[in-house]
């Protein structure tokens, strides 16, 4: 396939193609030639941008997390500025992760995190940013939280949101809206 | 390698070998010849027991979940019979999942669940058993829960425990004991 050059050197096309192929066929079953064909760039160009296939995984994690964290930051800022009650902010937070999709790719990425130290480090750094944001929201719900109790609130909120965001395979009966609404009540009761 | 026959036709050896190879190298990168060598059985014997490689994944999920559910059932029974206070039961529940290990294999399995309908169906059935057990424990904490609120309590407990059981890559600062203790407080406060 003829290669197309764009301002970003084909980065966006490569990432988009990698998302589809990794999610559908798996990370290890996808080779650079397939990826190049799907992205309409040359194999050489992929290697110039991403020395290893795991660098593409790391880039996908970073892009998705930056976008997700930006969405959650908007909700958190609205709560911090009192523009949104903290209960509604938790509901919105839960709804955002429940609607996120992309579970198939997430599990591919997490499986790879266990094999590649760089991918694991990217995941660990991002989790720390999530925890910080969630600790801030926990403090809005209860400003007397501190020390281990505050750390644990962040930890449990992170675990719960991770679980809620990856429940496609568990075939839940409850709708996204019901779950988000009741999750917010649950979080608030737990934190106060 | 010479094949060894055991009373179960080599099932236990095959499952044990598959766990190591799937977790370390990935499901798709493991072929039947490698698996046979590692398990000290013939390739033909593997196919007689498991027609498809995904049947081995399904068997691993079933074995692990039956064992995990049996452990959780002991905790739940102790709480139901009032031999253990519900708060302690939640702490024990959290400690059990926090200590479970095997995250690398879990993500391999979940990634495969998105490609194989039989694996997905096994996961969905097991999640329903987990939900039922967790709804029972939620009722012990608060017997006025019913309908959507009860369903959601089970859903959120399941999400949270799934997240807590798979947080190795997130590099948490808190110890297992602190997290289990504080998670129990968190669950109880949320449910009451």
Q: Give me the pLDDT at residue B5, please.
A: 59
Q: What DSSP string runs through B140-184?
A: HH-TT--HHHHHHHHHHHHHHHHHHHT-GGG--SS-HHHHHHHHH
Per-residue pLDDT tens for B134-175? Answer: 999 999 999 999 998 999 999 999 999 999 998 888 888 889
Q: Give me the pLDDT at residue B33, please.
A: 95
Instruction: Tell me: do A21 and A84 sit in the same domain.
Output: no
Which helix or strand (DSSP H or E) is residue A49 part of?
A: helix A43-49
- Helix axes of A32-39 and A11-25: crossing angle, nearest 10 degrees: 130
Per-residue pLDDT tens for A111-166? Answer: 889 889 999 999 999 999 999 999 999 999 999 999 989 999 999 999 999 999 98
Q: What residue ranges of chain A have pLDDT lower than 70? A: 1-5
Domain of A179, CATH number, reads 1.10.357.10
Task: Let me know if residue A5 belongs to a domain.
Answer: no
Q: How far is A128 from chain B (nearest CA, A)?
A: 8
A164/B172 touch (CB, cutoff 8 Å), yes or no: no
Structural domains counted in chain B: 2
Per-residue pLDDT tens for B84-93? Answer: 999 999 999 9
* Neighbouring C-beta atoms of residue A99, cutoff 10 Å: 10
Q: Averaged over B64-87, what is the pLDDT?
A: 95
Instruction: Tell me: do A178 and A164 sit in the same domain.
Output: yes
Instruction: Tell me: do B44 and B120 sit in the same domain.
Output: no
Please give the residue of chain A at the shortest CA–CA distance from B111. A107
Instruction: Tell me: do B102 and B40 sit in the same domain.
Output: no
Instruction: Tell me: do A25 and A100 sit in the same domain.
Output: no
Q: SS3 helix, strand, coil % of chain A, rounded to 5? A: 75, 0, 25
pLDDT above 70 for B41: yes
Q: Give me the pLDDT at residue A141, please.
A: 95
* Neighbouring C-beta atoms of residue B12, cutoff 10 Å: 13
Instruction: Tell me: do A41 and A118 sit in the same domain.
Output: no
Mutate to test the interface with A, among B110, B159, B164 (most CBs of A within 10 A): B159
Give the domain extent around A80: 55-191
List all residues 6 or more positions away from B15 whose beta carbon is below 8 Å from its beta carbon: B56, B59, B60, B63
- Helix axes of B147-165 and A147-165: crossing angle, nearest 10 degrees: 100
Task: Let me know if residue A3 belongs to a domain.
Answer: no
Under DSSP, the state recorded for A171 is: -
Please give the residue of chain B at the shortest CA–CA distance from A163. B159
Q: Give me the pLDDT at residue A144, please.
A: 95
Chain A from 97 to 136: CB within 8 A of any B CB: 103-104, 107-108, 110-111, 113-115, 120, 123-124, 127-128
B-chain CB neighbours of A149 within 8 Å are: 182
Instruction: Tell me: do A86 and A45 sit in the same domain.
Output: no
Do residues A155 and B174 lie in contact, with contact meaning Cβ atoms separated by under 8 Å? yes
Instruction: Tell me: do B63 and B135 sit in the same domain.
Output: yes
Residue with tokens 């991002």: A126
Task: Let me know if residue A4 belongs to a domain.
Answer: no
Cα–Cα distance between A55 and A35 in angstroms, integer?
Answer: 14
Identify which of A108, A156, A172 has the shortest CB distance to residue B160: A156
Cα–Cα distance between B88 and B180 in angstroms, integer?
Answer: 10
A174/B155 touch (CB, cutoff 8 Å), yes or no: yes
Task: Let me know if residue B1 belongs to a domain.
Answer: no
Identify which has the larger pLDDT, B186 or B4: B186
B20 interfaces chain A, CB cutoff of 8 Å: no
Q: Give me the pLDDT at residue B1, please.
A: 46
Q: Give me the pLDDT at residue A1, please.
A: 46
Radius of gyration of chain B (CA): 19
Radius of gyration of chain A (CA): 19
CA B24 to each of CA A78, A180, B59, B104, B119: distance values in angstroms, whole numbers, following the listed order: 44, 36, 18, 8, 20
Task: Let me know if residue A122 belongs to a domain.
Answer: yes
pLDDT above 90 for B18: yes
Domain of B20, CATH number, reads 1.10.10.60
How does residue B77 score in pLDDT terms, banded at 50, 70 and 90? very high
B160/A160 touch (CB, cutoff 8 Å), yes or no: yes
Instruction: Tell me: do B112 and B43 sit in the same domain.
Output: no
Instruction: Tell me: do A62 and A16 sit in the same domain.
Output: no
Task: Let me know if residue A6 belongs to a domain.
Answer: no
User: Hey, what are B114's tokens?
Assistant: 């998105």
B151/A158 touch (CB, cutoff 8 Å), yes or no: no
A176 interfaces chain B, CB cutoff of 8 Å: no
Q: Give me the pLDDT at residue B52, please.
A: 92
Task: Let me know if residue B2 belongs to a domain.
Answer: no
B-chain CB neighbours of A27 within 8 Å are: 26
Instruction: Tell me: do B109 and B154 sit in the same domain.
Output: yes
Q: How far is A127 from chain B (nearest CA, A)?
A: 6
Cα–Cα distance between B161 and A95 in angstroms, integer?
Answer: 19
Do residues B30 and B18 lie in contact, with contact meaning Cβ atoms separated by under 8 Å? yes
Percent of chain B with pLDDT over 90: 78
B192 interfaces chain A, CB cutoff of 8 Å: yes
Task: Let me know if residue B41 belongs to a domain.
Answer: yes
Give me the long-range contacts of A127-130 (CB less than 8 A, separation at least 24).
A127/A158, A127/B169, A127/B170, A127/B171, A128/B171, A129/A65, A129/A69, A130/A69, A130/A72, A130/A158, A130/A161
List all residues 6 or more positions away from A114 whose beta carbon is below 8 Å from its beta carbon: A120, B23, B103, B104, B107, B169
Cα–Cα distance between A76 and A60 in angstroms, integer?
Answer: 24
Instruction: Tell me: do B68 and B86 sit in the same domain.
Output: yes
ipTM over 0.90: no
Q: How far is B118 from chain A (nearest CA, A)?
A: 11
CA A183 to each of CA A50, A88, A151, A156, B16: distance values in angstroms, whole numbers, following the listed order: 40, 11, 20, 13, 38
CA B32 to each of CA B42, B63, B156: distance values in angstroms, whole numbers, following the listed order: 9, 21, 39
């Amino acid at each position: 396939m003829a290669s197309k050059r764009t301002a970003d050197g084909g980065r966006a096309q490569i990432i988009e193609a990698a998302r589809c192929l990794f999610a559908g066929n798996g990370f290890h079953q996808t080779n650079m030639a397939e990826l190049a064909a799907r992205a309409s760039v040359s194999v050489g160009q992929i290697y110039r941008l991403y020395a290893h296939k795991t660098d593409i995984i790391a880039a996908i994690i970073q892009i998705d997390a930056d976008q997700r964290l930006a969405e959650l930051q908007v909700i958190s800022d609205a709560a911090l500025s009192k523009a949104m009650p903290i209960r509604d902010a938790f509901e919105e937070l839960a709804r955002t992760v429940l609607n996120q999709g992309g579970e198939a790719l997430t599990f591919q990425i997490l499986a790879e995190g266990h094999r590649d130290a760089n991918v694991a480090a990217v995941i660990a750094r991002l989790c720390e940013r999530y925890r910080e944001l969630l600790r801030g929201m926990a403090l809005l719900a209860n400003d007397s939280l501190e020390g281990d109790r505050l750390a644990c609130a962040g930890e449990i909120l992170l675990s719960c949101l991770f679980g809620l965001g990856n429940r496609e395979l568990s075939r839940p009966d409850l709708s996204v809206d019901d779950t988000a609404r009741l999750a917010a009540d649950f979080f608030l009761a737990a934190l106060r």
